[in-house]
Structure formats: structure tokens, C-alpha cells
Amino acid sequence: MRPVAVVGIGKTAFGAFPDRDLRSLAVEAIRNCLADAGASPGQVEAFYLGNFAGPSFAGQSHLAPYVAAAAGITGIPATRCEAACASSGAAFFQTVSGVAAGLYDVVLAAGVEKMTSQPTPRVAEILASAGDLGGEIKAGATFPALFAMIARRHMHEYGTTREHLAAVAVKNHDNGFLNPQAHMRKRITIEQALAGKPVAEPLTIYDCSLVSDGAAAVLLAPLERVSDFAGKAVRILGIAQASDRVALDEKDDITTFRAVKVSAEKAYRMAGVGPDDIQIAEVHDCFTIAEIVAIEDLGFCKKGEGGPYTADGCTLRTGSRPVNTSGGLKAKGHPVGATGIGQICDLVIQMRGEAGERQVPKAELALAQNLGGSGATAVVTILSAL
């Protein structure tokens, strides 16, 4: 396999944009990405689009060529990847694979979701379709309910508290406040987080990610060609995708995501590094408990210690291993099809030293973890500065 690098990044702001459609968001991110790389649409040899539910949210199918053509890209393979909230993580994995294998030299990956065009009950229904239709959905379970069960079991097994969950929310809101592209730029206190409106006990509104619109894009090329592009490149040291059962009740242990552990082990092995080497991470905090489980499954702390690890400040921007300096899904926003590639863009911004007030001093080895559903898909990527 050839070494691969990210040579360009582009994003939109994440938020609620009633005057924007799915295609315009995706095109904005793609154009920003190509401009960052100093590349033209004609240089792109293949296109992968991460999108979870464009047909349900926006009523449009055949999305990859629909988006690519609007960005001036035609005549090449254009493929949509769907893996629930890990859709653009999966698209990124396919993009890396194509360049590494030598099938293409210059490949574009993007992720997009337009969620706010539907009322909240319909959004919850669409999102629930990433779960088990015959069991969970038939029983009326939504993802807040499923992750509430994960949180409650983690509390029972390991003594995790609501204060631990709140510490995740407070930290990510603080980071989001400093991110000009975040959906919710609002600082909160532990007391506010604990007193939030209940959603699914023990989760409150401050434990749940946002319903957002947005898009993100990256351009990839062989490492040997980074000098052909204008953007400051970042090398992809390791990447892996794994899957697990969709239904929560079919898992042996709901306090861990097996797909995360498997993909992390493979990515670490490919990169030749371990958890202790990672200096900064963007993890999939669709709910606060998901960040706690993620940092345990990724090996940043021992199983069951994610809550205290967070409460002790280890994941702060000033901590020993900053996590979600973008604000995470919790504050930056969670346009589900854009989230995975959005994480890559946020890490590249840090590794370039362009994160402004959110900049951490050491961001030379980074990790992104993108989750689909209640752990049925996971993509873990390890990036290295050049």
C-alpha cells in the first residue's frame, strides 16, 4: 500500500440553515476543500460521499453524482456511502483505500446532511432507522433511549455518575464556544448540565448532540505528491473500519463498543503506535456517555475509568490528552453524514496550528473515532504531521 496524505480540507459551519439545501452545503465544503488544496475539479479521479438519510431528510436519492455534478465534477466514479452516523467515516475509509491501493491518485471525499428540514419527531424517526427495525424500533426505542440504557449500565457496573456525564458536556461546550463554525457556541456549568430538561433518564438535553445541517470535505493524494498541492498536508498513518451487531440487546456487553476496539487495534497496528502516543483526539460524542465509552475503548484510560478521567481534566484543551477541541458533536453539531469527515478536518486544523483560541501545543499525532448507530459501525483514523 502507498502512503496517503490529506492535502486539502473544507467545511461549512454546522447549524440550522432553513435557506440552504443539501446540495448547496456539500458544494460549499467541496469548493472550500479544493481551494485549500489549490486543486481544480478536473483533477479529481473519484468521489465518495458520506450521507446517512438524504432520501428521508431531503427527498433526494442518487446523491453522489447529484452533488459531484453541482461541484463541476463529472465523468468519474461517484459513490454514496451509508453507515448511519459513520457514513462519512466509511466514505473516508474507501477514499484512503483507493489511493493506497493505487487505483487513483487524487480522490475527494465529502459528507453532508440536511436534517432541519424535518420536524423533530420525524428526525427522531429517521435516526431510529439506524437501529434494529424488528426489535428496538418496534418497541419504540430511539437513540436517546438506547444510550440512556448504556449510561445506566455503565453507572451500575463502574460507578459512573451524572456529574461525570456533565463534565463531558461542560468541556465540549467550552470548546464549542471558541469554534466559529460550531452550531452551539454557549458555555455551560456543571449545575446547568445536571439541571437540564430530561430526555431519557439519566440523559438531559445537555447530554445529547444537536440536530444540525452541514458538510465537510477532504482531498487525498499519495504522500509522494503532496508538493503538488497548496494545503499543508497531513499523513494518514493508520485507518480501520469494523462492524458489530446493530441491536443493543444482541451485544454481550453494552458498556463497550466492540467495533471501536477492533478498529482501534487495527489502526494502531497499521500506524505502529499505541494509545499513549496519541496527543489529541476527536471522538464520537453523540451522547456524553459515548465519549466516556470511547476513551475507554480507545485505550486512553482503563475500562470503567472514563468518567473520573474526564472529571479530573485529562481531556481538557490543557489536559494530558485533549479530546473534542472542536466542541464535539455535543456543541460543534452533528449533521450525521458529515460528522466523520468533519472530525478529520478539525484534526488537520489543529495539526496545522490553525485552531486559534482552541489550539493545543502538541498536535502532531491525532486520532479520529466515528461511530454508527449504537456501535454497529466504527472507523478509527490515526493522523501524523509531516
3-state SS, residue 9: strand
DSSP reduced 3-state for 10: strand
Torsion of CA 256, 257, 258, 262, to 10 degrees: -120
Q: State the Cα–Cα distance between residues 269 and 240, nearest whole angstrom.
A: 10
Residue with cell 426489535: 135
* Residue 189, amino acid: T
Helices (H), the chain: 22-37, 54-57, 63-70, 87-100, 120-128, 143-158, 162-177, 190-194, 258-271, 288-297, 306-311, 328-331, 339-351
What span, in angstroms and rounded, lies between the C-alpha atoms of 233 and 230?
9
Which grid cell is 295? 476513551
301 belongs to the catalytic site: no
For the question of residue 208 being annotated catalytic, the response is no
List 85, 286, 301, 314, catalytic entry = 85
Judge whether 69 and 356 are in contact, CB under 8 Å.
no
* 8 A C-beta contact, residue 116 and residue 213: yes
Residues identified as active-site = 85, 334
